[in-house]
Amino acid sequence: MTTDVPRYRLNDGSSLPSIGFGTYPLRGEDAVAAIVSALEVGYRLLDTAVNYGNEEEVGRAVRSAGISREDVQVTTKIPGRHHAAALATESVEDSLRRLRMDYLDLCLIHWPNPSVGRYGEAWRALVDLRERGLVRSIGVSNFTEKHLRDIIDDTGVTPAVNQIEMHPYFAQGEMRAVHSDLGILTEAWSPLGKRSAPFDQPAVVRAAEAHDVTPAQVILRWHVQLGTLPLPKSATPERQRLNLDVFGFELDERDMTAITGLSRPDGRLFGGDPDTHEEM
C-alpha cells in the first residue's frame, strides 16, 4: 500500500489532503510530540480549535518538524462565544498569534450557536478575513442545512467545508447530500466513532480480513470512498501511519453498503453545546 494522499478540490479553488490529523484532546509536550510524529509520518492537514486549547502546541510542532509552512495546512475554529463580528475577527487574529503564523489555511465557525443566532456575523467576518489574506479558505462546523442556506443567502459565499460528526454509526446521509448539492466538502470529526467504534462489526471485520488491514483502516477507507475527509487522532506513531495508509486498497460495493448500513438514528456520540464539549 501507499501513503501518497490524494487531495480534494474545494469550491474556492484551493485543495486539502483527503485525510487530516485531529489534535483534540492533545495538549502540552505530549501534543507537540504527537503532532511532530504525525507530520513525519506524512500528514499535511492539522485540525485544531480555540476550544481545544492547543493552538500554541500545533504551531510549535510545525516549526519543530522542519517542514515548510507552505507544505502544511492548518485549520482552527472560532468558538460560539465569539460570533459578534468584532469578536470573530479578534478570535482569528488571536489564533494566529498563538500559532505564530501569518495566515490560516482554513478557518471554521465551530458551531452555529443557534440560541444566540449571530453566526451570520461570524461568517461575514470570515469573508472579510479571507479578503484580507489572513485566511485562505473558510468554512463551518456542525451546521445544519438551514444554517448553511442562511449564510449563503446572506453573503453569496458558500462555505468550502462543513465539519460534522460522522462515522459508520452516524453516516450523515442527508447532510452529505446537502453538501453535494451546495458544493461543500464534508469533513468528519470522530470518524472512527471513538469508544463506540464498530471495529467488531461483521461488515468491518470481513473487509479488514479480505484486505489484510485493520478495522480502523477499513472505516477510514469508507470515508474516503464516500468523498468525505476524516480527521483521525492518535498519539501512537504506528497507528498514525496505519490511519494514513488507506489508499492501496478499495472496498467493494457490498462492503460500502454494509458499513453505511450500520448507521442508526441514535448513533450520535454527542448532542450538546460544543462550547462546553471540546470534541466539536
Question: Any idea which residues carry the catalytic annotation?
Answer: 52
Provide DSSP, 61-112. HHHHTT--GGG-EEEEEE-GGG-SHHHHHHHHHHHHHHHT-S-EEEEEES--
CA gap 179, 159 in Å, rounded = 10
Nearest CA to 244 out of 258, 269, 223 is that of: 223
Contact 240, 26 (CB under 8 A): no
Nearest CA to 115 out of 277, 242, 280, 274 is that of: 274
Question: Residue 90, Cβ neighbours under 10 Å: how many?
Answer: 14
CB contact burial 21-44 (16+ within 10 A = b; e otherwise)? bbbbebeeeebbbbbbbbbebbbb
Residues 6+ apart with CB under 8 A from 199: 205, 215, 216
Nearest CA to 101 out of 76, 130, 126 is that of: 76
Residue type, 273: D
Please count the residues of the chain.
280
Residue type, 219: I
Question: Residue 186, Cβ neighbours under 10 Å: how many?
Answer: 22
